[in-house]
Structure 1
Amino acid sequence: MTQEYKGTALVTGASSGIGAIYAHRLAKQGYDLIIVARNGERLKALASRLTDETGRTVETVAADLGDKADLARIEGMLKEDRSITLLVNNAGVGGTAPLLAADVDKMQEMIELNVTALMRLTYAAVPGFVTRGGGTIINIASIVAIAPELLNGVYGGTKAFVLAFSQSLKHELAEKNIRIQAVLPGATATEFWDIAGTPVEHLPNEIVMSAENMVDASLAGLEQGEFATIPSLEDAGQLAAYEQARQALMPNLSRTAPAKRYKIA
């Protein structure tokens, strides 16, 4: 059965793993696609498969979002292509090395991709979404956004930014018919781990989710209206309690007088 056309989804980091599966699932849902990644040959092969299977139009863009000129190209597409209704900010890189063993230049590159590129693409997309009356942004964060001690601290910091940025966007755009979803996957079976320096085979099997299950869970969460989706979290009440605790803090975070425990006699 042909799915109703839903506009165009632009997916970054789409040549493999999570991004490629998002592209597949969204094409099956009725989206045409713009798929972006560094590996142009992989993108072309994926586009051919998706078009054959779904009949959707798939445009490929070979681009390195860590390169300013390439990033500006994708920003331009988001600003100019009125058919785009969904942005999946998936492109990113990770790390497992502690500070004393990490290359600081690699950490800077991580920030440029995980933070700067995601922020700039979002800023490029949102004005058009507002003008056209709606849109959706899916930002791929990580469980390390709330548990940064699990992996490299800079990686955790970049994903904490993604979560905080998404939370702010949800608040800012609440009346603009723009959906914001932050996805916080745990360990997922992709090439991420090889690139980060710890092969996924070295992780306990019981904590690793397939990329297919991760994406399917995230899209189910989007359909259910979730802002934050943690695909492996069985008890949604735990996340609700976390958010309630955060909200309870907010009225007490900024006051004239120091807390009594800090007063010097």
Structure 2
Amino acid sequence: MNLNKRLLPQLCLYFILAIGVFVSLFPFYWMLVGATNPSGQILSFPPKLVPGDYLMENLRNLSQSIDIFSALINSTLISVIFVIFSLLICASAGYAFAKFEFKGKEVIFAMLLLAMMIPYQATIIPLFQLFGNLDWINTYRAVILPQLSYPFAIFLIRQNMKGIPNSLLEAARIDGAGEIFIFSKIVMPIMKPALAAVGIFLFTFQWNNFMWPLIVMSTQDMYTLPVALSTLAGLNSVDYGQLMLGTAISVIPVLIVFLILQKHFVSGILGGSVKE
């Protein structure tokens, strides 16, 4: 009897988790099935739930409709450069906020947090005017630079860095180490889990960034993948086979980055829960 009482809650929990897994994974399965079927069969009733043999035809049609490989290269290049420089800037800012005392630090940090509340759409017009005056429209710089100092990334890194003992840094200073050496050789290696978690977030943000690249990129050879895929939805008709295949291709890099860095993700996020 006691065994049944313990087993029933576990079975209910596993049942709820199984439903959650199904709800989470079914859209991805539907996307993969759609990528292997012609457009006319994707929205048929009853729906077709098994993969078809139309994958290569969809790939050929997709390559003819948009320059998918050029867009993939553009998105990869922009996202990788953005993550590298953004991590360096955000880590430096987080280190300064966490381990240095200077006049106005709390006010500046509060302004940084307030910047997170400003709607992104409100910054588009001044940003476009700025980059237009610099003659940077339709360049990689225009896509990469605006969000390099990402407030949430600075906040998360700062919270993680507050967990580094001050005595460790003071010992390094007593031994004659400079701040650049301490930051690069002591702080950054300790911060690998947090940097990995922030790196996943930044890569996903830039990879999926749509509105700003759509506005600032004016030629098809500079399109990122989300912008290129948006051109597949015409006014009169949509080839859902091509759209599903393009979407599946766009998911792969994000999945690869997450799988590579996943072992650091949870510890990096939890590191930000350190108390003030």
TM-score (norm 2): 0.24
TM-score (norm 1): 0.24
As a proportion of its length, which structure holds more strand?
Answer: 1
* Structure of higher RCO (CA pairs closer than 8 Å, 6+ residues apart): 2
As a proportion of its length, which structure holds more helix?
Answer: 2
Of the two, which has the highest radius of gyration? 2
